[in-house]
């Protein structure tokens, strides 16, 4: 057998330590044994990422043959085609869809809980704000003030100016406890979320858990007290290697009782959010009121990327056979169903062509970067 040679390798991965998705991507690259060198993106590199990809999105990867990759979920799909050993997508199409849905939920719903535990507690806000400006190259004499300003800005931007209020703040905070109520009994029985090996769902959950919940002092204490199995899983994910695990992957259908509350959060909170966000996007509204079972977010921001996320999930579901669609539908039926995924059909984000990798635009296609964008980036996926 001819040994595989990756003409794009090695990769230089620009992954800020504070980015929710940086550890998600690095955990995946480590698991697959993909050769890469991590680097902190300087303001100049952020300008380049914007020009080459069209987005201020980190992490991003630069290939040895001068191409660019970005968006963690899209990168994982791209790498899976080149490094098939230890696939992260279950062979069962219905379970594959569930894994992708859970990855999306972790990326785009748990981020708000992660933002709460990072930016609401004062100590974490000040420390992480200073880390960001230090990595951004702010001169030492200005770091304390700049870090304080950054922390205050992030708290406002990702929480209080995006639908969080004094009425729902504690509910956002306590969502971490609800996730642990699901994860603890599951990880007592098996090493990873869907069985014997990490799936895309595990890598989605790794983002907020590795970089936020196991990084900041307050949520780390919560995990120490209430989530020992989850804390062990975090370490297991960071150290997992496909080459060290058995080739035979044993996947488990999510039917145990402890799955029900999570499936209900997906069906009654997250999918309605995606639907309501897509309607606001379609109607040209920059903000909308989200109503779910657990949360009500007034005047939250409309996000085109999450219109794209919903569109991808709809396409993935449509690609299933009728029998597999029925299996997924029957799984969610007692927990609220999948109506929010299907209602009003596909609302086109207009972004699909932007997520074809690798990115290597011509000079005429390159996007100019702004100073404000370089300073504040676009951490929201």
Residue 133 has pLDDT above 60, yes or no: yes
Bridge partners of 60? 14, 70
pLDDT tens by residue, 143-162: 999 999 999 999 999 999 99
Find, among 147, 222, 228, 237, the residue nearest to 184 by Cα. Answer: 228
Place of tokens 């905070």: 173
Residue 179 has pLDDT above 50, yes or no: yes
Residue 195 region by backbone torsions, left for phi larger than 0, else alpha for psi between -120 and 50, else beta: left
Band of pLDDT at residue 107, cut at 50, 70 and 90: very high
**Cα 224 from chain centre:** 23
pTM of the model: 0.94
The C-alpha atoms of residue 332 and residue 275 are separated, in whole angstroms, by 17
Query: Of 107-111, 272-276, 278-282, 360-364, which gets the smallest average pLDDT?
Result: 360-364
Domain ranges of the chain: 11-116+168-241+258-363
Residue 2 has pLDDT above 80, yes or no: no
The C-alpha atoms of residue 288 and residue 273 are separated, in whole angstroms, by 10
Place of tokens 């406002």: 156
The SS3 call for residue 285 is coil
Residue 379 has pLDDT above 60, yes or no: no
Residue 23 has pLDDT above 80, yes or no: yes
Question: How many C-beta atoms surround the C-beta of residue 241 within 10 A?
Answer: 11
The C-alpha atoms of residue 368 and residue 53 are separated, in whole angstroms, by 10
pLDDT tens by residue, 322-372: 999 999 999 999 999 999 999 999 999 999 999 999 986 656 555 554 444
Cβ-proximal residues to 139 (8 Å cutoff; 6+ apart), any chain? none
The C-alpha atoms of residue 237 and residue 32 are separated, in whole angstroms, by 12
Residue 184 has pLDDT above 50, yes or no: yes
User: Would you state the CATH architecture of domain 11-116+168-241+258-363?
Assistant: Up-down Bundle (1.20)
Could you say which DSSP state residue 158 is in?
I
The C-alpha atoms of residue 217 and residue 276 are separated, in whole angstroms, by 34
Quick one: average pLDDT of 284-294?
Answer: 97
Could you say which DSSP state residue 220 is in?
H
Instruction: Report whether 40 contacts 16 (CB < 8 A).
Output: yes
């Amino acid at each position: 057998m001819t040994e595989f040679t990756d003409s794009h390798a090695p990769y230089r991965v620009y992954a800020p330590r504070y980015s929710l998705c940086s550890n998600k991507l690095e955990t995946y690259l480590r698991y697959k044994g993909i050769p890469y060198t991590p680097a902190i993106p300087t303001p100049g590199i952020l300008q380049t990422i914007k020009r080459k990809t069209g987005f201020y999105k980190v992490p991003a990867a630069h290939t040895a043959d001068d191409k660019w990759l970005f968006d963690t979920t899209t990168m994982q799909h791209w790498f899976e085609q080149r490094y098939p050993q230890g696939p992260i997508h279950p062979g069962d199409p219905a379970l594959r869809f569930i894994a992708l849905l859970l990855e999306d939920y972790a990326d785009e719903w748990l981020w708000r809980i992660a933002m709460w535990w990072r930016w609401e507690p004062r100590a974490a806000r000040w420390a992480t704000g200073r880390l960001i400006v230090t990595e951004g190259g702010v001169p030492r004499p200005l770091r304390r003030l700049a870090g304080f300003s950054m922390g205050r800005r992030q708290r406002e931007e990702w929480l209080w100016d995006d639908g969080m209020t004094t009425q729902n703040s504690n509910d956002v905070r306590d969502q971490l406890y609800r996730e642990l109520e699901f994860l603890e009994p599951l990880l007592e029985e098996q090493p990873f979320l869907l069985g014997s090996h990490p799936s895309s769902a595990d890598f989605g959950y790794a983002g907020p858990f590795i970089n936020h919940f196991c990084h900041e002092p307050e949520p780390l204490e919560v995990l120490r007290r209430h989530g020992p199995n989850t804390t062990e899983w975090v370490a297991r994910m960071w150290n997992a290697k496909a080459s060290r695990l058995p080739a035979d992957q044993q996947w488990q259908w999510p039917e145990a009782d402890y799955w029900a509350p999570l499936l209900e959060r997906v069906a009654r909170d997250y999918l309605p959010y995606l639907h309501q966000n897509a309607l606001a996007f379609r109607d040209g509204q920059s903000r909308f009121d989200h109503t779910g079972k657990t949360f009500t977010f007034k005047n939250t921001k409309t996000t085109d990327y999450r219109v794209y996320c919903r569109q991808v999930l709809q396409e993935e579901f449509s690609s299933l056979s009728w029998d597999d669609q029925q299996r997924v539908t029957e799984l969610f039926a007692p927990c609220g169903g999948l109506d929010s995924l299907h209602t009003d059909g596909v609302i086109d984000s207009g972004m699909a062509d932007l997520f074809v990798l690798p990115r290597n635009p011509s000079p005429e296609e390159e996007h100019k970067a702004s100073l404000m964008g370089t300073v504040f980036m676009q951490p929201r996926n």
